Amino acid sequence: MNKGMEAIPANWHEQIINLLGERIVVTDREGMILYINEAYCEFLGTTVEEATNRPVQEVIENTRMHIVANTGKKELAALHPINGSEMIANRYPLTVDGELVGALGTVMFRSPEEWRMYKSKIQHLVEELKYYQTKVENELKSKYSFQDLIGSSQSFLAAKKLAERISDSNSSVLLIGESGTGKELFAHSIHNQSLRSSLSFVAINCASIPEHLLESELFGYDDGAFTGAKKGGKKGQFELAHNGTLFLDEIGDMPLSMQSKLLRVLQEKEVQRVGGQKSLPVDVRIIAATHRDLEKMVEEGKFRRDLYYRLNVIKIEIPPLNKRIEDIKLISMSLLKKLERKFFRTGIAISEEVEKRLMEHSWPGNIRELENVLERAINVLDGQTIELIHLPLYLREMRSQCPNNGKRTMVEIKPAQKMPLPVIPLKETLARVEKEAIQSALVVTNGNKQEAAKLLEIGKTRFYEKCKFYDI
């Protein structure tokens, strides 16, 4: 007997078998019942004493146990008519020292209803698993193509053409541009047209992850690497992007300590998990993006020179919106189509006055700010045409910033005759302007409150107090 079984007292065996939740019968080669558990006897309406040492055909209606004991061929998930119903049975031949000695029968489900109930539970779990599997797969795919990059200005078309040309390469790409210019769309499009398009596209924002978590997020960790580590460990972004593309957004915000570790991975083409001992080979194409001046950061010692040259194999500069004023109408139309789907609306247009105002604004938040403005307008829009009154206050003001020379000039605004602006108390007007200025600054800085406070030239504490006051 197995040593493990010897440690279990003999009088425990019966209870262990019953607790397994299955009905069990054992016969010898001739089909005589050597053992049958109480659960099976209750189901059959008999007792262990009455059933033992009797031919199995006399105890179990429509049984095939004696056939399996004679042929040695197992029968799995077989329908077994009994007591006016059908149960699901498994029958196994018993072989000892190469000799067929009998058979073992088990009943998992006493009726098709039990089987259907079990199946429905399993099916629910399978469907849930498929849902999350599909979700993960979709998140690791590129969402945009070059068709989604809208614009006809010369500077934009030059950047787009270069991106299309180098898509099939495996060289690293560095995307330079202000916040909100569409660097992530460029990264998605490059991957989508590359030879790696059918494989993973993994994006990570280096500025949004705390420094102490960035290493484990990029490289993963092994089981027990630190307190709170997930059991079994976790794959890092490099492993998830293996054979695909890894997009490192806001690379200029990566701490120096992490830059050296990233450089090693790019040079050695292998990654070592936090707390791990072995190196794992990785083949990824790197696309990095930043709104910072990396060359200046290199000179100031804030960014590693060797990492900069490793990333800056192909540099693509994406022009800001105020350098491609002629594209604003095209981009606005494209954004409106996108927002129409979001708000379940159709046929939304912008008036000539709004179009003119959009082209007069300097757009420090670029396309992200433009989308924010249009979404705000749709939220307060009753008809089909966006008028000046639907724009945020900072765009309705008489002052506008000229994109050509960066100076503020006065622009004459003729009040709309059909939709006169209502008279609002000065205190409320100032509060609205202040709130929208804060929201605009946050759009420009992609939610970075410290940077937004600097743009507004107010202290960090005061900025946080105003955010709290305005429920931002």
Query: Looking at 205-209, 258-262, 270-274, which range is the least confident one?
Result: 205-209
Confidence class for position 464, pLDDT limits 50, 70, 90: confident
Query: Looking at 228-242, 253-267, 350-364, which range is the least confident one?
Result: 228-242
Residue 411's pLDDT is what?
43
Percent of the chain topping pLDDT 90: 54
CA-based torsion, 131, 136, 140, 142: positive or negative: positive
Q: State yes or no: pLDDT of 327 exceeds 70.
A: yes
What's the mean per-residue pLDDT of the chain?
A: 84
Confidence class for position 404, pLDDT limits 50, 70, 90: very low
Query: Looking at 210-224, 318-332, 430-444, which range is the least confident one?
Result: 430-444
Alpha-carbon distance of 75 to 91, in angstroms, equals 5
Strands 349-350 and 385-386, by their bridges, are parallel
For tokens 């019966």, name the residue. 14
**137 contacts: CB under 8 Å, gap ≥ 6:** none
Percent of the chain topping pLDDT 70: 84
pTM over 0.85: no
Q: State yes or no: pLDDT of 41 exceeds 70.
A: yes
pLDDT digits (tens, 9 = 90+) for 119-145: 566 666 666 666 666 656 556 677 889
Alpha-carbon distance of 402 to 362, in angstroms, equals 6
More confident residue, 109 or 96: 96
For tokens 């050695």, name the residue. 268
User: What is the H or E stretch that residue 339 is in?
Assistant: helix 328-343
pLDDT digits (tens, 9 = 90+) for 268-314: 999 999 988 889 999 999 999 999 999 999 999 999 999 999 999 99
